[in-house]
């Protein structure tokens, strides 16, 4: 569950970096997690970065990624990337966005930790609770 908490916290912090907050974030005993609601961006680059921030945070926290947890985010990012930039630029653009996701997560690591640790303690956080954690 620890990897999942950090994974979801990565998404939350990246969304917040672009000015968007969730209405709820949760993790389950089965190792799955979900960030719900709230406005989000329509800009492909931001969508890709937010999608990749979860796997980045998970890797930084756990040292390895569980592809069962990350596969959906990576596939989603690749679909957005292909639609927005074309398959011929996929590798180049993917690397740029992955680096941007890494930079956002690293720069806000204390926030990632606060959200992840709160998720581990409570397993569900409201949007209000997330905003309070991100403001501290």
User: Is the predicted pLDDT of residue 41 greater than 80, yes or no?
Assistant: no
- The answer on pLDDT for 67 being more than 60 is no
Strands of the chain, DSSP E? 24-27, 33-36, 124-126
- Would you state the pLDDT for residue 11? 95
Which residues is 33 bridged to in the sheet?
Answer: 27
**pLDDT at res. 62:** 81
- CATH architecture of the domain 2-135 equals Up-down Bundle (1.20)
In this structure, is the dihedral angle defined by the CA atoms of residues 41, 61, 78 and 67, taken in order, positive or negative? Answer: negative
pLDDT in tens, 71-118: 889 999 999 999 999 988 888 899 999 999 999 999 999 999 999 999
The model's pLDDT over 16-28, given as tens digits with 9 standing for 90+, comes to 999 998 899 999 9
């Amino acid at each position: 569950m620890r990897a999942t908490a950090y994974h979801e916290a990565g998404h939350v912090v990246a969304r917040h970096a672009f000015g968007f907050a969730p209405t709820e974030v949760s993790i389950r005993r089965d190792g799955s997690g979900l960030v719900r609601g709230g406005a989000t961006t329509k800009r492909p680059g931001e969508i890709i970065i937010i999608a990749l921030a979860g796997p980045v945070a998970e890797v930084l926290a756990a040292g390895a990624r569980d592809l069962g947890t990350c596969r959906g985010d990576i596939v989603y990012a690749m679909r957005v990337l292909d639609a927005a930039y074309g398959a011929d630029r996929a590798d180049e653009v993917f690397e740029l966005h992955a680096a941007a996701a890494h930079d956002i997560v690293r720069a806000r690591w204390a926030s990632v930790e606060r959200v992840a640790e709160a998720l581990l303690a409570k397993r569900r956080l409201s949007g209000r609770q997330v905003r309070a954690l991100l403001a501290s």
